[in-house]
Structure 1
Amino acid sequence: MSPFEDIRPYYDTEVNQAIKEIIDHPMLKAMMNFTFPDLEDRYWKDLMLHCHSIRDFQINFIYPGVKKVLEKSSEGLTTSGFEKLEQDTSYLFISNHRDIILDTSLLNACLYENGLFMTTSAIGDNLVQKTFLKHLSRLTRNFTIKRGLPARELLESSKLVSAYIRHSLLRENRSVWIAQREGRTKDGNDMTHKGVLKMISMASDQGEHFLDYFMRLNVVPISISYEYDPTDVLKMPELLAKANQETYIKAENEDFRTLLSGIIGQKRRIHIHVGDVLNDEIDQIKRTVSGNVKQMQALADLIDFQIISGYKLWPTKYIACDLLTGTDQYASWYTAEEKALFEARFRRGVDQNNPLAVKSFLSMYANPVINQKQVLENIKSA
């Protein structure tokens, strides 16, 4: 039995049986009716029951679903940097994370369209508590990261996840997607948590320098930018609790509600940028920075730089920046119509009499502008 039994996606030999277990589930019917609105159920059911691999399931059912989501809830997806990737090479994609499902789904759609293998992707077990979602997650090549464990169990779980990431990248030659931090970024500050990097490094060989190990993994930062965050208002209670230094407790089914809102809510334009393969930069860190703690911080800073500088700054980000500061500093980056549209959304979704709510909402959109400006200033002063 595989040591990864509790966290791994399905093997291709298990796919057909898993499909049979969910084929009559009402959520699958809803997904397929959305994806194939002009087809009778018996058509997609028959096609699905003849599916025997994850790749077939993704190409024939998930990919058309993603295209339909883009058609219905966005004004299109643009990309940059995919030409840097080679077809027969596996990569560790470390990404900013804004949407529960779409971040990885859109990346995989782009990889498929560019003739590249789709990833195996990390997902928190809090998102797959329901049996149907667990099946669907494993059918789309997700591996599970367990949340909320006691310290000892967390260490063992981290070792297992790290070993699985290594197995996928170095044994199966399969790229891996993982967020730069646990959970989605809600305040617009896309910062890499060193804990994620330490977890990944656990699977390095005994005596191997962790930076040499990261070079073997071919780290590539990914920046995904949504013009509108369809879950922006839903993030407000947690942001306000954090601002008030209060513990935030999620409501029942909150993750599932956020998941659905992210998929069907309006996003307008979306951009995915593929950063550089960081091997040369990591090698430079090893040669010029002393001490493991400083080297790990330098690696996190490097990933942050790539993600922040690769982030597409849509007009909504500049509008929020000007509203936050009460200036028109970035007025040349947006139109009066774009500003009116954003302000209408902002005033409809946020209590204008709550200064903390106003600041939290605007900062969510404005922080990418502020952070990218800081990155560019640091380059000039270096």
Structure 2
Amino acid sequence: MSKFDSIRPFYDSEVNNALKEVADHPMMKAMMNFTFPDKEEREWTEQLLKTHSIRDFQINFIYHSVRKVLDLTSDGLTTSGFEKLEPNTAYLFISNHRDIILDTSLLNATLYEHGLLMTTSAIGDNLVKKPFLKSLARLTRNFVVYRGLSNKAMLEFSKLNSEYIREAIFSQNRSVWIAQREGRTKDGLDLTQKGILKMLSKGCENLSLKDYFLKLKIVPVSISYENDPTDVLKMPELLAKAREETYVKQKNEDFRTLMSGIMGQKKRIHISVGKVLDEEIDAIFENESSVNKQLQSLVEELDRVIVRNYRLWPTNYIALDLLNQSDEHKHRYSPKEKEEFQQRIQKGVEMDNPMAVKNFLSMYANPVIHKAKLQQLAP
């Protein structure tokens, strides 16, 4: 047995058996019939049962599912920065995180289209409770991050995750995707948790921390959706946080959010990848002597690049003006776009609840505010 068996994706040798087990599952049938509406069920089933690798499953099935989702639920995906990446080179993509499934699915579709290595991606164990979803996650090269454990167990799995990431990049030449924080950003403020870097640092072994981070080839990723298809679903947690209450998820809440993110309307989407943080890491380790300060400086650099490269949309500026009851940014959007956004609020938010309205608007306005603050702090 591999020490990574509790968290790893399927090996290619396991893929065909796994597909045979889920081929008749209602969710697999629904996904394939959605993806290939012009094909008889027998056609895609036969091809599915002849599939023996994760890459073939991703390219021949999942990629087409992603393109179908984009066609039906968005006004298109644009990208930037991918031309800076090298083929056959493994990177560690550290990304802001807005949607449970689409963030990684869209990144991998773009990597594939650019002839670049696709990723093995971190996924929370809360999202793979159902057997079918766990199989699908492993078939799309996700590895599990366990949450809500005791401190001792958390330390053990944190080290295991760090070792798996090292193994993927160094030994398998496989890129890795991880979010900059635990869970999705729900308030529009994309901030890196230092704990993510502490977890990564556990894998440095016989390398200095500086050399290890350089060898990981860290690339910041920014993804933005003009309309967040799960914006209304995020409201209960934001309201609980505003009231300083503990938020308890409802049964199947993660699954409903997952499906809403996939099938909800998003309008335009943009993914930007930065360059490898090599010069930045050199400078940080030259100027900071303590590990704590080095990690904090790297956190700040990741935030700076992710926020700088984040594409702002008319919805962001409309929300900020509505929040401030001004028209300062009216040159950034049209009257029609403002009307559509106001209708979105009225449809999804209790308008007689000022806190709910404020939280909804802040979710969209905060990226503008955050970007402006970072620009003011820039040297």
TM tier, shorter chain?
Answer: over 0.9
Counterpart position of 2:220: 221
Secondary structure, aligned partner of 2:186: coil
Is 2:156 the counterpart of 1:156? yes
Counterpart position of 1:79: 79
Which amino acid counterpart does residue 354 of structure 2 have in structure 1?
P
Counterpart position of 1:7: 7
Counterpart position of 1:376: 375
Counterpart position of 2:48: 48
Supply the distance in 1 between the matched residues of 2:258 and 2:92 (Cα, whole angstroms).
Answer: 24
Supply the distance in 1 between the matched residues of 2:141 and 2:292 (Cα, whole angstroms).
Answer: 33
Supply the distance in 1 between the matched residues of 2:108 and 2:205 (Cα, whole angstroms).
Answer: 30
Secondary structure, aligned partner of 2:250: coil
1:209 deviation in Å? Answer: 3.2
CA displacement, residues 16-66 of structure 1 (integer Å, 9 cap, x when unaligned) = 000000010000000001000111100000000000000000001000000
Which amino acid counterpart does residue 250 of structure 1 have in structure 2?
K
Secondary structure, aligned partner of 2:359: helix
Which amino acid counterpart does residue 290 of structure 1 have in structure 2?
S
Supply the distance in 2 between the matched residues of 1:325 and 1:282 (Cα, whole angstroms).
Answer: 38
Supply the distance in 2 between the matched residues of 1:117 and 1:159 (Cα, whole angstroms).
Answer: 25
CA displacement, residues 316-371 of structure 1 (integer Å, 9 cap, x when unaligned) = 00000100111111111100000000000011111111111111100100010001
Counterpart position of 1:339: 338
Supply the distance in 2 between the matched residues of 1:8 and 1:224 (Cα, whole angstroms).
Answer: 25
Root mean square deviation, CA, Å? 0.7
1:289 deviation in Å? Answer: 2.0
Supply the distance in 1 between the matched residues of 2:261 and 2:310 (Cα, whole angstroms).
Answer: 19
Is 2:268 the counterpart of 1:269? yes
1:133 deviation in Å? Answer: 0.6
Counterpart position of 2:183: 183
Is 2:282 the counterpart of 1:280? no
Tell whether the 8 Å contact from 2:89 to 2:116 is kept in structure 1 after alignment. Answer: no
Aligned pairs, number? 379
Supply the distance in 1 between the matched residues of 2:112 and 2:309 (Cα, whole angstroms).
Answer: 21
Tell whether the 8 Å contact from 2:226 to 2:266 is kept in structure 1 after alignment. Answer: yes
Secondary structure, aligned partner of 2:133: helix
Which amino acid counterpart does residue 88 of structure 2 have in structure 1?
D
Which amino acid counterpart does residue 154 of structure 1 have in structure 2?
M
Secondary structure, aligned partner of 2:135: helix
Which amino acid counterpart does residue 272 of structure 2 have in structure 1?
H
Is 2:16 the counterpart of 1:16? yes
Tell whether the 8 Å contact from 2:12 to 2:54 is kept in structure 1 after alignment. Answer: yes
Secondary structure, aligned partner of 1:122: strand
Tell whether the 8 Å contact from 2:78 to 2:269 is kept in structure 1 after alignment. Answer: yes
CA displacement, residues 70-107 of structure 1 (integer Å, 9 cap, x when unaligned) = 00000000000001100021100000000000000000
Secondary structure, aligned partner of 2:187: coil
Secondary structure, aligned partner of 1:321: helix
1:290 deviation in Å? Answer: 2.7
Counterpart position of 1:116: 116
Supply the distance in 1 between the matched residues of 2:290 and 2:53 (Cα, whole angstroms).
Answer: 45
CA displacement, residues 158-198 of structure 1 (integer Å, 9 cap, x when unaligned) = 00000000000111110000000000000000000000110
Alignment of 1:224-373 (within 5 A): 224-373=223-372
Counterpart position of 1:59: 59
Supply the distance in 1 between the matched residues of 2:350 and 2:294 (Cα, whole angstroms).
Answer: 44
Supply the distance in 1 between the matched residues of 2:12 and 2:123 (Cα, whole angstroms).
Answer: 20
Secondary structure, aligned partner of 1:16: helix
Supply the distance in 2 between the matched residues of 1:137 and 1:311 (Cα, whole angstroms).
Answer: 27
Secondary structure, aligned partner of 1:225: strand
Which amino acid counterpart does residue 245 of structure 1 have in structure 2?
E
Secondary structure, aligned partner of 1:221: strand
Supply the distance in 2 between the matched residues of 1:116 and 1:216 (Cα, whole angstroms).
Answer: 18
Supply the distance in 2 between the matched residues of 1:124 and 1:144 (Cα, whole angstroms).
Answer: 6
Tell whether the 8 Å contact from 2:89 to 2:117 is kept in structure 1 after alignment. Answer: no
Gap regions ≥5 residues in structure 2: none
Supply the distance in 1 between the matched residues of 2:159 and 2:151 (Cα, whole angstroms).
Answer: 12
Supply the distance in 1 between the matched residues of 2:173 and 2:219 (Cα, whole angstroms).
Answer: 15
1:211 deviation in Å? Answer: 2.6
Which amino acid counterpart does residue 304 of structure 1 have in structure 2?
D
What is the TM-score with the length of structure 1 in the denominator? Answer: 0.98
CA displacement, residues 121-166 of structure 1 (integer Å, 9 cap, x when unaligned) = 0000110011101110000000001111010000001000000000
The list of structure 1 runs, each at least 4 consecutive aligned residues, that deviate by more than 3 angstroms after superposition, is none
Counterpart position of 1:96: 96
Secondary structure, aligned partner of 2:342: helix
1:258 deviation in Å? Answer: 0.1
Report the identity percentage: 63
Which amino acid counterpart does residue 126 of structure 2 have in structure 1?
N
